[in-house]
Amino acid sequence: MSSSDGQRFPISVKSRIATANPRYFGYGKGLTFYSWTSDQFSQYGSRVIPTTIRDATYVLDAILDNETELEILEHTTDTAGYTELIFALFDLLGMQFSPRIRDIGDQKIYRIDKTEHYKHLNPVLKRTIKPEKILKSWDDILRAVASIKLGWVTASLFISKLQSYPRKNILTKAIQEYGRKISSIYIPTYLCDSDLQRRVGSQLNKGESIHKLRRFLLFANEGKIRKSQIEDITNQASALTLVTNAVIVWNTRYIKAGIDQLQQEGYAVSESDLSHISPCRFDHINKYGKYFFNVESELNRKQLRPLRNTKD
């Protein structure tokens, strides 16, 4: 399972990707670092996007471009990452989309046959899916999804093109109709499945904890972006992801070493307790000053550093 979310940063120079958004930047401008996080706390993608474009446009990009060993089977976002188009594309690509939807009671639930009656759902089943729209465009839908799957076009470009027409074209309406079917299955399932709710909430919380770590690490220039060219900003976002993953790996190794030491000393460590330990801690990191790395000696080191003894 993985999740994705955008993190807003102000920008103090002129840049064509910077946009105004008083909610986040006051009278200034800024941009969004959109990042993807696995359920192992590792980040496997990042992208710089305008703050004014909805997150849902980019949700699939890093998942389809994933070159890690992680096989993403299920993905979650908050409400900003949810549209009927996204529900459809995830299902057609063979993955489960499990968003956390705000104001879920106001969401529309569809049925295919309006002559069918459901004892407890009739009051909310006020709309009907039109299967003929899907069937007429089925070949075009499969060709479009194959193009995304094979990398001939990015998902974000395809989605933005579908949404850019003044009047939605036939293909857009067909994919949306398919997405309504998938979302109408997901919403009641989410409401009735407490395990799914906890799993989604837990994964989104992992992303939030990583955002705190990323904001801590991006401290230069008071946390403001000072690059103007998109290539330079993208390099900065990628470097931030690299350092974030390095901190998480370091924390994970030493948390494991600390747990092993406690067990050797006879302390009982419950597996259920370990699920509440996060490798996103940063209170022990000194982010100021200059650091020198002797790569050769570190590569030759056969063991971890000695653990601190808090009793001393």
Give the model's pLDDT for residue 205. Answer: 94
| Residues sharing a CB contact under 8 Å with residue 271, sequence separation 6 or more, in sequence order | none
The H or E element spanning position 216 is helix 194-217
Instruction: Report in angstroms the alpha-carbon separations of 199 from 98, 186, 236.
Output: 10, 14, 31
Q: Are 106 and 35 in contact (CB under 8 A)?
A: no
How would residue 64 be classed by pLDDT, with cut points 50, 70 and 90?
very high
Distance from C-alpha of 82 to C-alpha of 302, rounded to nearest angstrom:
47
The total of other beta-carbon atoms located within 10 Å of residue 265's CB is 7
**203 in helix, strand or coil?**
helix
pLDDT tens profile 167-193: 668 899 999 999 999 999 999 999 899
pLDDT tens profile 77-97: 998 878 899 999 999 999 999
Instruction: Report in angstroms the alpha-carbon separations of 239 from 55, 200, 232, 233.
Output: 21, 28, 11, 10
β-pairing verdict for 43-49 and 29-38: antiparallel
**Residues written for the chain:** 312
DSSP state for residue 225 in the 8-state scheme: B
Give the model's pLDDT for residue 280. Answer: 94
How would residue 46 be classed by pLDDT, with cut points 50, 70 and 90?
very high
| 32 alpha-carbon distance from chain centroid | 13
**Alpha helices by DSSP H, 218-269:** 230-264
Q: What are phi and psi of 288, to 5 degrees?
A: -105, 160
β-pairing verdict for 96-97 and 110-111: unpaired
**Alpha helices by DSSP H, 12-137:** 22-25, 61-64, 84-92, 131-136
Instruction: Give bridge partners of residue 96 from the DSSP assignment.
Output: 74
Give the model's pLDDT for residue 231. Answer: 94
Give the model's pLDDT for residue 167. Answer: 61
Q: Give the up-direction half-sphere exposure of residue 211: CA atoms within 13 A in the CB hemisphere.
A: 18
**Nearest one of 236, 311, 250 to 284, comparing CA atoms:** 250
What's the rounded mean pLDDT across residues 25-47? 93
Distance from C-alpha of 280 to C-alpha of 209, rounded to nearest angstrom:
6
What's the rounded mean pLDDT across residues 230-258? 94
Token pair, residue 204, equals 């989104």
Strand locations in the chain (E): 2-11, 19-20, 29-38, 43-49, 74-76, 96-97, 110-111, 127-128
- For the chain, how many helices (H) and strands (E)? 11, 8
Give the model's pLDDT for residue 161. Answer: 87
